[in-house]
Amino acid sequence: MSSVRVLVGTIKGAFILTADGKREKWTVEGPFFAGWEIYHMKGSPVDPNRLYTSQSSGWFGQIIQRSDDGGKTWHQPGTPAGEPMTTPEGFPKGESNKFVYDTSPETGKPLTTHQWYDGTQHPWEFKRVWHVEPSLKDPNAIYAGVEDAALFMSTDGAKTWKELPGLRGHGTGSQWAPGAGGLGVHTIVLDPTNPNRIFIAISAAGCFRSDDAGKTWKPINRGLKSKYMPDEKAEVGFCVHRIAQPRQRPNTLYMQLHWNIMRTDDAGESWRNVSGNLPTDFGFPIDVHAHEPETIYVVPIKSDSEHYVHEGKLRVYRSRTGGGEWEPLTKGLPQENCYVNILRDAMAVDTLDKCGIYFGTTGGQVYVSADSGDTWKAIVHDLPRVLSVEVQTLE
Amino acid sequence: MIRVVLPFHLRTLARLDDGEVLLDVKGPVTQRTVLDALESRFPMLRGTIRDHVTLKRRPLLRFFACEQDLSHEPPDDPLPEAVAKGEAPFMVVGAIAGG
């Protein structure tokens, strides 16, 4: 029988929630890496027991953890438990937390500064990994979106990392500016039909597409608007909060922009506004039904100044028309005195026949809907602030 | 042996109990040689105390020994004699930031 494994990253550790395909009775395990910020966890689509975790701390920096048994045991790649911690030559093996920007004369030389909040130029400084995205084909290959914005890749199971410098080297890097949460690559979408095509999104630079497996990148922001940016033809400078791709239509992407829900059907060449009748235009997560490419989910937030749900009611909005027309989903969700937020990486869908939708809140709740959003139930109520939610559908 | 005290999260990361770390440091006992020895024995701590490339102390960590703040001392200066003799620990401490 099918089952699901929900990977929850919180500000104070990681949790793993499991249930069978009915998604009614849940087992909660954790906290793993207690006390650390877990920005993201994700499993390999090729080997579901291979999990990767971004563990970080303002004090101690970035750690990458890996599990090869579905989360039962963890280790930092390169220093597995029980093995010698140095190479035969005596050098330390702890390289998995080493994210160093490319400064080579060939590819990294010009990548020196980005725009700071006050408009001045600021050096690139690595802070943390926001998002890990395992390859669709190779369990040892994985991408990492980091702050300050750059894309890294490992091909040895996260033991060592190398920047894909073409993204920062696109030529607009000096114009990228941090959003309120920092300047991070927060979304990585790997095209299931084209191994050379990758989409990424940066807050606050915009969306980029690579058609050569990450060597070169093109900004794909035409049609996006920012209220305070006078140049409507600007290539970059957009606070994209999240993008999501329906598996069946790889040229379609949905976006929660800082303000407005946007849609493209030509792989980002042009975007159009599909906010329609949503009660507010601000929010963070967006996701797509696993089997219905026109069914999408968002959680409108009152405003960019308040960062909590509208009218004290936690409402997921669903569109079955690819945007434009939206319906509130409220059954099982608090409809009074609720002032949580749902962060950009904290919504996910499973691939069971009756598609399940999951999201975590800044109040520590993780909700599930086993009927595509019609009804909701809290799996857990009192976790720390939820930073990310991913789900694996297991056979 | 050189005694080193680590904060909770780094002890967890290195799979250590509550006790001090004892290190055999060759040559002069300085911040650099002590941290080199620590990272050599516990490579999972690389990057968590000092930057991987510049080897500068991470901003929210401080170094103390013998009731002295050594955070801003040159990394190649000798540590206090009591540390070198193993009579006092070299302490890596998480600075308190924010509220």
Beta carbons of A216 and A166 less than 8 angstroms apart: yes
In A116-155, the residues whose Cβ lies within 8 Å of chain B are none
Is residue A92 pLDDT above 60, yes or no? Answer: no
Q: What is the mean pLDDT of residues A380-385?
A: 98
Instruction: Between B57 and A395, name the one with better pLDDT.
Output: B57
Q: Taking the CA atoms of A86, A91, A92 and A96 in sequence, report the sign of the dihedral they define.
A: negative
User: What domains sit in chain A, N to C, each tagged with a CATH number?
Assistant: 97-382 (2.130.10.10)
How many whole angstroms from its chain centre is CA A97?
A: 19
Task: Among A59, A124, A161, pick the best mutation site for testing chain B contact (most B Cβ within 10 A).
Answer: A59
Residues of A in contact with B44 (CB under 8 A): 63, 76, 79, 85, 94, 97
d(CA A178, CA A5): 33
Q: Which two tokens stand for residue A160?
A: 């060592």
| Ranges A86-100, A186-200, A351-365: which has the least confidence | A86-100
Q: Which helix (H) or strand (E) holds A264?
A: strand A261-264
Residue A207 has what pLDDT? 98
CA within 13 Å, CB half, A12: 7
Residues of A in contact with B40 (CB under 8 A): 86, 90, 92
**pLDDT tens for each residue of A244-301:** 999 999 999 999 999 999 999 999 999 999 999 999 999 999 999 999 999 999 999 9
Residue A305 has what pLDDT? 85
Q: Which two tokens stand for residue A373?
A: 């959003």
d(CA A316, CA B40): 50
Tell me if B64 is assigned to some domain: yes
**pLDDT tens for each residue of A185-226:** 999 999 999 999 999 999 889 999 999 999 999 999 999 988
Query: What average pLDDT does the structure give for chain B?
Result: 92
From residue B88, how far is each of A281, B35, B65, B79, B84 by CA, in Å? 59, 16, 7, 11, 8
Residue A93 has what pLDDT? 59
Is residue B72 pLDDT above 50, yes or no? Answer: yes
Residue A84 has what pLDDT? 57
Beta carbons of A42 and A7 less than 8 angstroms apart: yes
Whether residue B47 lies within 8 A of chain A, CB to CB, comes out as: yes
| Ranges A25-39, A221-235, A242-256, A348-362: which has the least confidence | A221-235
Tell me if B52 is assigned to some domain: yes
Tell me if B60 is assigned to some domain: yes
From residue A341, how far is each of A148, A347, A381, A394, B10 by CA, in Å? 24, 12, 14, 29, 31
Q: What is the mean pLDDT of residues B52-59?
A: 91
d(CA B62, CA A60): 12
Q: Closest to A61 (Cβ–Cβ): which among B40, B41, B47?
A: B47
Tell me if B99 is assigned to some domain: no
Whether residue B98 lies within 8 A of chain A, CB to CB, comes out as: no
Tell me if B21 is assigned to some domain: yes
Whether residue A60 lies within 8 A of chain B, CB to CB, comes out as: yes
From residue A247, how far is each of A244, A291, B20 by CA, in Å? 9, 8, 52
Domain containing B64: what range? 2-94
Residue A170 has what pLDDT? 86
**pLDDT tens for each residue of A294-323:** 999 999 999 888 899 999 999 999 999 999
Kindly determine whether residue B94 and residue A79, on different chains, have CB atoms separated by under 8 Å.
no
**pLDDT tens for each residue of A3-22:** 999 999 999 999 999 999 99
Q: Which residue of B has its CA nearest to A58?
A: B60
Could you tell me the CATH number of the domain that includes residue B54? 3.10.20.30
Question: DSSP states of A11-32 as a string?
Answer: TTEEEEEEEETT--S-EEEEEE
| Ranges A70-84, A143-157, A332-346, A359-373: which has the least confidence | A70-84
As a three-state string, the secondary structure of chain B is CEEEECCHHHHHHCCCCCCCEEECCCCCCEHHHHHHHHHHHCHHHCCCCECCCCCCECCCEEEEECCEECCCCCCCCECCHHHHCCCCCEEEEECCCCC
Tell me if B7 is assigned to some domain: yes
Q: What is the mean pLDDT of residues B20-24?
A: 94
Instruction: Between A38 and B17, name the one with better pLDDT.
Output: A38
ipTM score of complex: 0.81
pLDDT band at A38 (very low <50, low <70, confident <90, very high): very high
Q: How far is A78 from chain B (nearest CA, A)?
A: 9
Residue B97 has what pLDDT? 59
Residues of B in contact with A88 (CB under 8 A): none
Query: How many domains, in total, are found in chain B?
Result: 1
Instruction: Between A54 and A84, name the one with better pLDDT.
Output: A54
pTM listed for this prediction = 0.93
Beta strand segments in A73-170, E: 113-115, 121-123, 128-134, 142-147, 150-154, 162-163
Q: Which residues contact B54 (CB under 8 A, 6 or more apart)?
A: none
In A90-109, the residues whose Cβ lies within 8 Å of chain B are 90, 92-95, 97-98, 100
d(CA B10, CA B62): 14
Kindly determine whether residue A76 and residue B8, on different chains, have CB atoms separated by under 8 Å.
no
Q: How many CB pairs under 8 A join A and B?
A: 65
Q: Which two tokens stand for residue A299?
A: 């959680």
Cβ atoms within 10 Å of A245's Cβ, excluding its own: 21
Tell me if B38 is assigned to some domain: yes
Whether residue A61 lies within 8 A of chain B, CB to CB, comes out as: yes
Residue A208 has what pLDDT? 98
Task: Among A62, A97, A125, pick the best mutation site for testing chain B contact (most B Cβ within 10 A).
Answer: A97
Q: What percent of chain A has pLDDT over 90?
A: 82
Query: What average pLDDT does the structure give for chain A?
Result: 93
Q: What is the mean pLDDT of residues A344-353?
A: 97
Q: What is the mean pLDDT of residues B25-50?
A: 93
Beta carbons of A76 and A93 less than 8 angstroms apart: no
From residue A378, how far is each of A342, A352, B38 by CA, in Å? 14, 19, 44
Q: What percent of chain A has pLDDT over 70?
A: 96
Please list the residues that pair with A157 across neighbouring strands. Answer: none
